[in-house]
Structures are given as C-alpha cells and as structure tokens.
Amino acid sequence: MIKPIELITHPPFNPIHDKLYNPFELLEHFNPENALSLPATPDFQCFLYFHQQGGTTISDPYAAMMEALHDTSVVREMNSFLKTEMQAGRRPVAIMGGHREPRGSNAYREVARIAQKLSESGFIVVSGGGPGCMEATHLGALFAGRSAESLTSAINRLAQKPFDEFPKNMHHLIGKDGRTINEDLLSDLHAWMLPAWKIANELKDQLTPLNRSLALPTWHYGHEPFTPFATHVAKYFLNSIREDVLLTLASCGIVFSEGRGGTIQEVFQDAGQVYYRDTDNKAPITSMLFLDSKFWTVPEVPDGKLHMPVLDLLHQLFVVSGNMTEEEFKRYIRLVDDADEVVNIIIENAPSASEVVHKLTRFGISNINSELMAERAETLVSQRRK
C-alpha cells in the first residue's frame, strides 16, 4: 500500500559530525516487532530528506550546504579513524562485489572467510557497506578471532529462506520525490534486515580491535540499507565522493568478487587509478585480485553461466600499453579461488608502510610514524602465521 510521507523541513542529521557513525546510532528506533518502524530511524530519515531535497540536484541552498558540511566532516572523521588504525599496524584492503549476491551462496561464504582471515592478519577491510558481498565482508570481520564454525553458523542463519535474497523492487520503496512510501516493500525490507540486526546485537558487546571494519554506503542508494555488521560507518549523501574515497583507500589491494554493473564499474575505476599511478616516482602497483577464476574468464567449454572476462582487456591496458611489465601483471593482477591464497597475495604484495602513508596523504591522513606502523603490521602478520 502506498502511503504519503510528510516533508522533512529540517536536516535530520548533525552536519558537523564528530565521529564516524556506528550501526546502532543510525538504526535507533528500529523495532524488531514492528515491520513499519524503519522510517523512524535516523538512517531512513536522512534517506528521505536527501530525496525530498532533490537528490543530487538540490534546489534549496541551505540543504545543499548542510549536506556538504556533513560529507566533509565524515571524510575528516574517517581520516582520523584510519590514522589510528594504521598507527596500530592495520592497513586498508577493499572487497567489492554484487549487492544482490544471495546470503549463503559460495561467493558470499568465500568473501566472509576472506574478510575474517584478512582481519586476523592485520588488515582492516573496507566495502561499500550495502547488501550481498558487502554484507559478507563485514560479517567476516565481525567474526575475526572466532572459529570458522561460528562464522558458518551465522551465515546459515542469514541464508534461511525467504530472507536469503535481497528483496526485489526496492528502488520503488519511496516515490521519486520522497513523499510516498510503499509499506508492502517496507515490510519486506524489515524482514530481510532482521536476522542481520539480531546477529549484530548479539555481538556488539564482545568486539575487539580485530572486528573493526569500515563501511562507506550512501543515501543515494538508501533503499539498500547499510549492513549493521560494520563497526564504523562513513555514510555520505553524494555517491561520487564515496566511490572515489573507497577506491583510493584500498592502498593494500582490492578483492573483486562476482558482480554486475556496479562491480564492473569499480574494476575499471580502480584500473584507472592503477594506470595513472605516479610511475616517475615508482609508486607501487595496487593488487587487483579476482575471486572465482571461472567468472572472470571465458572457459574453453561454456558452462551456461554468466562470465565477465576482464583479464584480457586489463592485459591490453596495462601490459600491451607498456604501463607495467608482464611479470608485474602476473604478480599484481591475479585470478584467485581460495581465501588463504587471497590473504597470502595481499600480504606478499602489500606496499611498504611509508608507501601506504604517502598514498593516503591525498585525504589528509598524515603524521603517522611509518616505522612504528611497519613494525606493528609485521607483528600482526606474524601472529597469523603461528
């Protein structure tokens, strides 16, 4: 049933945010017993406000100023958070993948295992913060330091039908002007969110530094709720800011899981950053790892499944153009099929601490003791190998 929504006349957010969001702050007033409670949350209120003000074409100068101040302050607080993590030896790695990947699929499980192992190896995982492979990323981090069996059990809870797949038609959840809402779709979304919300609540008082992860969602796609498994949420109004930040932050590599339009866009956005690296000053190549070699190549015998054969095009872009050598391509642009293989490659190819710090100065992340960072990072990696 379509219901009208009142106009939100005042920004439902603090434009000068003094810390990153945590999931329960954004989901305040979420009621597990009330399927229509989601619009009362600060997260949904910001989603409505963004669209009521015109989305990316804001007509009200005051609203535009408030949203811009908000996004700028989130960038600042994200920098502060990452500076603290990096000084402790935890370096950022991003995981990309489809937002419609079903809970419990092979890809979902493998991404969760990769994130768990990376978090246990001294890295902080970063994603776009939405459903699918993004949710799996933060679930894996949430279970870092816990058994593989406990992670599997959590995935099995999430994978129970009919809540294993993200509900369809969510782009029709609210009207284009943000003044109406479809309560049937709202109920579907609440039911899908509930098992993840319960798991996150069960663990929120048991977290250690290993469980920290960073999500970068956007209210541009507010009909796709951010995952409550992320411990730190840098949520933006403008998707363009979020995309650029997300790719640049991944100074130690990006893992690409199965995806479609958005993931392919990110592959080539990242390829552009690698291609235009500062070769004169020998800037390091950032690893691009493609999970599930069959998906990212065309097999000799077609299997009837969808494939995205990007490796040949990337070879043309990087090697044939002379941007990198064949040996560099084979080392940094890789097909992978195993979680341990991903982690080992990330560790092997990780830039030095000073190179990571240099790259992230673009965002104002500075005054980090790179020698101390390197020492602590090696300690974290060594602990995993024991």
What 3-state class would DSSP assign to 123?
strand
Mean pLDDT of 325-342: 96
Distance CA 263, CA 95 (A): 10
At residue 373 the predicted structure's pLDDT band, cuts being 50, 70 and 90, is: confident
pLDDT of residue 385: 57
Please give the average per-residue pLDDT across 283-295, as a whole number.
Answer: 92
Residue 20 confidence (pLDDT) above 80: yes
Higher pLDDT, 241 or 314: 314
d(CA 321, CA 216): 33
CA-based max dimension of the chain: 60
pLDDT recorded at residue 92: 93
Of the candidates 195, 222, 215, 200, the one whose C-alpha atom is nearest the C-alpha of residue 52 is 222
Annotate 270-331 with DSSP letters as a single string. HHHHHHTS-TTTTPPPPPEEEESTTTTS--SS--SS-----HHHHHIIIIITTSS-HHHHHH
Among residues 226, 63, 71, 210, which one has the least CA distance to residue 134?
226
- Residue matched to tokens 């619009």: 39
DSSP string, 155-221: HHHHT-TTSSSPPTTGGGSB-TTSSEEEHHHHHHHHHHHHHHHHHHHHHTTS--GGG--EE--BGGG
Tens digit of each residue's pLDDT (9 = 90 or more) over 251-276: 899 999 999 888 999 999 999 999 99
- Mean pLDDT of all residues belonging to the chain: 92
Look at 370 and 321; give whichever has higher pLDDT: 321
**pLDDT at position 15:** 95
Q: How many CB atoms lie within 10 A of CB 220?
A: 19
pLDDT of 171 > 80? The answer is yes
Percentage of the chain modeled with pLDDT above 70: 98
Q: What percent of the chain has pLDDT over 90?
A: 75
Residue 58: CB partners within 8 Å, gap ≥ 6?
Answer: 64, 67
pLDDT tens sequence across 107-130: 999 999 999 999 999 999 999 999
Residues 37-45 have a mean pLDDT of: 97
Give the closest residue to 26 by CA, choosing from 49, 42, 6.
42
pLDDT tens per residue across span 185-217: 999 999 999 999 999 999 999 999 999 999 999
**Single-letter amino acid, residue 122:** G
Confidence of residue 363 (pLDDT cuts 50, 70, 90): low
Per-residue model confidence (pLDDT) at position 384: 65
DSSP state for residue 104 in the 8-state scheme: T
Residue 48: band (very low, low, confident or very high) from pLDDT cuts 50, 70, 90: very high
Residue 6 scores a pLDDT above 70: yes
